[in-house]
Each structure stands twice: as structure tokens, then as C-alpha cells.
Amino acid sequence: MTTDAAPVPAQATTAAAPERVGVLLVNLGTPDRADAQAVRIYLREFLSDRRVIENQGLVWKLVLNGIILPRRPAVKARDYQKIWNVEKDESPLFTFTRGQADKLAAALAGHGHVAVDWAMRYGNPSIRSRIDALAAAGCTRLLVVPLYPQYSAATSATVCDEVFRALIDMRAQPTLRVAPPYYDDPAYIEALAVSMERALKALPFTPEVILASFHGMPQAYIDKGDPYQAQCVATTKALRARLGLDETKLMLTFQSRFGNEPWLQPYTDETVKRLAREGIRRMAVVTPGFAADCLETLEEIAEENAGFFRDNGGEEFALLPCLNDSDEGMAMLRKHVTRELSGWL
């Protein structure tokens, strides 16, 4: 006797592949090479972002294309050459961010189907390319982790802008989460303090003053409601409390100002010069707004501001390293990420 039973669809006999969770670490960005052409490409993308330069009108376009891009790339390329990872032919920020992603992937290997990747907001690897890669790897859920301890529209928000632009073109979008800033997270403050204490012990001198130098921002952005300054203040207060230092020993400053409009004060460079003129001979600088060392720490602070200090009478100057992919930095990052993955793992 024969039967005419309907054939069983192939998918009914195959177990469904488990859902994968993607984790995407995102930092600011870096040129592909330490030459003027690569820096020009990077600066054009960075300075054309309306989150970074809010007034993208005709005057700014003339300044950008007529003054900045013809002149500044050659200068900044020389700065990059001072700190370039020659062995791997890449910037330190590129090296450290990849290291953070690799170590986080190893730390999360026991949590099931998690894929960790990394991207740069400007330059390569792009956010779009890495989201596409995570989707191709079967990630139906995505946690984006901006590597900025303090939130600002010019950093964290523009990461989200670019993520959303990438998702616009996707028919099968992943479920999305964005990790919050961690400026006052106890684990972050502890990691900073441990890193600072180790670095200070290794110095051949004892600093009279430590500057906590954060990347600057136009004052107008704060006046419009950006919470960045308040979060920098909160980080510094928490760090003072943990280290037992007062405002005269751990001072808050802002670096990297650009253009003629007022930026957040006090300015790092002017503070360095003033303290040296006032008799401070030994100084250290920590940069708690940067998750990894980069041009703004390794060249602007360790080279340029060290020169300002010595030119004005200072003697001993040291940059304390960022958390980078250190043990304490990675322990903090793993805790931050696993908390935001709650319910997905």
C-alpha cells in the first residue's frame, strides 16, 4: 500500500540557527595614513559633520575649503608622524581600539552567540561596513557602544546618527540598543584611579599638580543644552573623591580649542603656562574623556603642552596613559557592556 503524504519542508527538519548578538565599539576616527592626503580626507569628513561644526553655511564652507583643507593637513600629518605606530602602519587609536574589541570578544566568549566588532565614526573601518558585517554574521540584535565616557552631541550623538543612516538601507534591521555614557560609573572611576595610581608610582618625580584635561567644546553648544561640561565636572569630582585630592591638586581643564569663538574654560594650554609661571615645577596630566590614547593625548598633551610647561619654567611633565586595553580598562568595559546586554545573553 502506498500513501500520498505531503513532503516535509526542509526547514522543518533543520534546527533554527541561534540568534547572534552583535557588539559594536565605536571611537572617533583616524586617518588611514600619516600623510597630508589621508589627513585631508579625514578632516573633510570630520569637519563637514553638522554635529561637530553646527553652522555649515557658506562662510564655513569657504573657510573649510579655502583655508583649512589646503593648509592644515600637512601640519597635522607631521603631528601624526610623531606618534604613528610604524610597525603596524596605523595610528595608536586604531591599534588600541582594535585591541579593546579583541579583548572584549575573548572576555565574552563564554556568553554564547556574541560577535564583537569595532568601527570609527570618521574614517575606517566605517560604521556602515561593520554593521553590514555583523548582520551578515547573523546578528539580529546590536549593541552600539560609543567609546566616550561623557556624552556630547558632537561625539555620542553623531555615532547614533551614522548608525541610523546605515539602518535606513536595511530591510532586516537588527534590534538596536545604544550604551549610555559612563562618566560617573563607579567601575569607570575605579579603573581610572587604579590606572593613575600605577602610572604615578612609576614616575621619577611626584607631581605638585595633576590636570584632568578633557576635549573642549564651544561654549555655545553648552548654552544650547549639551550635558558634556556637567558630565566632565562629575567625572572629576568623583575622581578627586576616590584619590583624596582637592581642586588645587586635581584641576579640571579643557583642551583642543579650534577657531575664535569662546570654548569651555579653563583652557589646558593656558593653565599649563600659568602654573609654570607661578612656580609649579612638576606636573602630570590625565585625560579622562578619552578611552584610548590618540593624537590629542600623545602629541597635543605629551609633546605640545609639555613644551609650553618647560618654556615657562616648568621642569618635570608627564602624560598619564588612557585606559586603552589595560586590564582595569577592559574589566570596566566588560562590566559596562554586559550590563547593557542584560536580557540578551
d(CA 11, CA 5): 17
| CA distances (Å), origin 202, targets 139, 206, 212, 318, 319 | 43, 10, 19, 11, 12
Could you tell me which CATH class the domain 186-319 is placed in? alpha beta
Q: Is the pLDDT of residue 152 over 60?
A: yes
- Say yes or no to pLDDT of 48 above 80: yes
- Segment among 110-124, 203-217, 270-284 with least mean pLDDT: 110-124
Q: What CA–CA distance (Å, rounded) separates 215 from 206?
A: 25
Sheet strands side by side (includes 175-178): 114-123, 20-30, 139-146, 175-178
Question: Is the pLDDT reported for residue 5 higher than 70?
Answer: no
- pLDDT at position 2 over 90: no
- pLDDT for position 111: 79
Per-residue confidence at 110, pLDDT binned at 50, 70, 90? confident
Q: Torsion angle, CA of 4/10/11/17, rounded to 10 degrees? A: 150
> Is residue 138 predicted with pLDDT exceeding 60?
yes
Contact 291, 101 (CB under 8 A): no
At residue 17 the predicted structure's pLDDT band, cuts being 50, 70 and 90, is low
Q: Does domain 26-181+328-340 bear CATH number 3.40.50.1400?
A: yes
Residue 12 has pLDDT above 60, yes or no: no
Task: Note whether 26-181+328-340 and 186-319 share their fold.
Answer: yes
For residue 11, the model assigns a pLDDT of 44
Please, are residues 246 and 280 in contact by the beta-carbon 8 Å criterion?
no
Overall average pLDDT of the 114-130 stretch: 98
Interval 283-340: pLDDT, tens: 999 999 999 999 999 999 999 999 999 999 999 999 999 999 999 999 999 999 999 9
**Residue 150: pLDDT above 80?**
yes
Return d(Cα 28, Cα 158) in angstroms, integer. 10
Residue 278, judged by CB atoms within 10 A of its CB (0-12, 13-18, 19+), counts as exposed
Q: pTM for this structure?
A: 0.93
Under 8 Å between Cβ of 285 and 305: yes
What's at 121, amino acid-wise?
R
Q: What is the reported pLDDT for 18? A: 64
Domain boundaries, the chain: 26-181+328-340, 186-319
Does the pLDDT of residue 8 top 60, yes or no? no
pLDDT greater than 60 at residue 10? no
